[in-house]
Amino acid sequence: MHFKALKDWLRWQESLHPKAIDLGLERVAQVYKALNPEQLKPATIIVAGTNGKGSCIAFLEAIYTAAGYRVGSYTSPHILKYNERIKITGEPVTDEAICKSFSRIEAVRGDTSLSYFEFGTLAALDIFWRSNLDIQLLEVGLGGRLDAVNIIDADVAIVSTICIDHADWLGETRAAIGKEKAGIFRAGIPAVIGDPEPPDSLLASAVEKQAIIYAFGQAFNYSKTSTGWEWHENSQIKLSNLPEPMLKGEQQYRNASTAIMSVMLMQNKLPVSAEAFNKGLLSAHLTGRFQLINDKIPVLLDVAHNPQAVRMLVASLEQNFPNKRIHAIFAMMRGKDIRGVVELMQPHVVAWYVAPLKHSRIAEESCMKTVFQEEDIANVSFGFVDFDEAFSAAQANAEQDDLILIFGSFFLVSAYLAKRNED
């Protein structure tokens, strides 16, 4: 099957495989071997974790680009366009490039069934090895051990943080999830751990796999100064007078530190100067992560969708928007800890607006109503036709000094940005 338009390829892929999420490496590894028999690839950093993956990729991409290298980055999900998942030196690749890669995949896969995500992962790997890159940055979509990205052996493997998310697939404890994330580790290869309190299972798995562990708080750390901040390796200052990261939130210092550790481990292959570190920290950008849109009534976008991420969001709100009345437009996916997120955010929200979204995995309004009723929260509005109506209601009820917060799902942030582009 071959198509000319990217939208047609994607529509077909969504219906091809019986499961939207089908963890396992055998099928995708078989097709990758046929697609790239010599297993050619540039230097590789793989990033797994519950939260912070996208931020680590953004810092790595910005630092290596500032150093003059050709960088490929593969992330998911996208916000507005599928092409955002596959970037070269910060720019999404073209529809034509992706369609050509899909055609190459289709030519070799035979009767092997691939999921939507597996097609995308193979396309990214195919495009990257053909593009004369210096380095590729690959974000794990779900878990680690059985994620399609894990068919590649990394030069450095990062686990950013571990918390409970995707429990149906990864387990209901940090211990179980940590073991799954550790699946990207390899013998003799650096394993950079950004979580300040990693579960024992993550560390034990790294030891079992004979990976070389570099853990935050032990092998590397950071400290703030009156003029910026410093990055430490083995308790010694290695980079000083670093600028505040462009990505906002206290956790971004840790994510930046994790990225810096990884770059340092690659210095023999891809040297990076102190100037490039500074430029990268100042230019890293990530849509939908504590992103402020200045309008008559300011709008803040954040894709926080689990308790750990929401705790970070709350801390950033308290630091940057104290005493603001917050109107929260909210939606979440089924299977997420909706109750835990609502409990954390409720003390900071003056009014909730639950927005309907056209996606098969979005939690139904009836489910959301149950959560709010059981939490005895009355300042919540339901019954909107679509996102636009929910947003209009928030705008109508908010005053000029208030803040509209859009959070809980990538798809919600996408809906707002799509509306803004239309306007």
* Distant-in-sequence, close-in-space partners of 58: CB < 8 Å, separation ≥ 6: 247, 284, 285, 286
Dihedral Cα 276, 282, 287, 288, nearest 10 deg: 130
- Asked whether residue 169 carries a pLDDT value surpassing 60, the answer given is no
Alpha helices by DSSP H, 79-166 = 95-109, 116-129
- Asked whether residue 303 carries a pLDDT value surpassing 90, the answer given is yes
Please state the rounded mean pLDDT for residues 53-81: 97
- Asked whether residue 165 carries a pLDDT value surpassing 70, the answer given is no
Q: What is the pLDDT of residue 228?
A: 93
Bridge-partner residues for 64, per DSSP?
Answer: none
- Asked whether residue 171 carries a pLDDT value surpassing 70, the answer given is no
Q: Higher pLDDT residue, 142 or 96?
A: 96
The confidence band for 335, taking pLDDT boundaries of 50, 70 and 90, is confident
Q: Which domains does the chain have, with CATH numbers?
A: 6-283 (3.40.1190.10), 291-422 (3.90.190.20)
Locus of tokens 């942030």: 413
Dihedral Cα 250, 252, 254, 259, nearest 10 deg: -170
Distance of CA 257 to the CA centre of its chain: 17
Q: Which helix (H) or strand (E) holds 71?
A: strand 71-74
Give the other-Cβ count within 10 Å of 201's Cβ: 20
User: Each residue of 28-38: pLDDT tens digit?
Assistant: 999 999 999 99
Q: What secondary structure letter does DSSP report for 287?
A: T
User: Each residue of 12-22: pLDDT tens digit?
Assistant: 998 887 666 66
Detail the DSSP E strand segments found in 130-254.
Answer: 135-139, 156-159, 190-193, 212-215, 220-225, 228-233, 236-242
Give the β-pairing of 326-330 and 220-225: unpaired
Detail the DSSP E strand segments found in 173-246.
Answer: 190-193, 212-215, 220-225, 228-233, 236-242
- Asked whether residue 215 carries a pLDDT value surpassing 80, the answer given is yes
- Asked whether residue 391 carries a pLDDT value surpassing 60, the answer given is yes
Q: In whole numbers, what is the pLDDT of the chain averaged over residues? A: 93
Q: What is the pLDDT of residue 145?
A: 85
User: Each residue of 291-300: pLDDT tens digit?
Assistant: 999 989 999 9
Give the β-pairing of 299-302 and 291-293: antiparallel
d(CA 333, CA 407): 12
**178 close to 163: Cβ distance less than 8 angstroms:** no
Judge if pTM exceeds 0.85: yes
Q: What is the pLDDT of residue 358?
A: 83
Residues composing the chain: 423
- Asked whether residue 224 carries a pLDDT value surpassing 90, the answer given is yes
Lowest mean pLDDT across 74-78, 132-136, 142-146 = 142-146
Q: What is the pLDDT of residue 20?
A: 63
Helix (H, G, I), strand (E, B) or coil at 303: coil
The confidence band for 141, taking pLDDT boundaries of 50, 70 and 90, is confident
- Asked whether residue 143 carries a pLDDT value surpassing 80, the answer given is no
Q: What is the pLDDT of residue 142?
A: 76
Q: What secondary structure letter does DSSP report for 356?
A: P
- Cα radius of gyration rounded to whole Å, the chain: 21
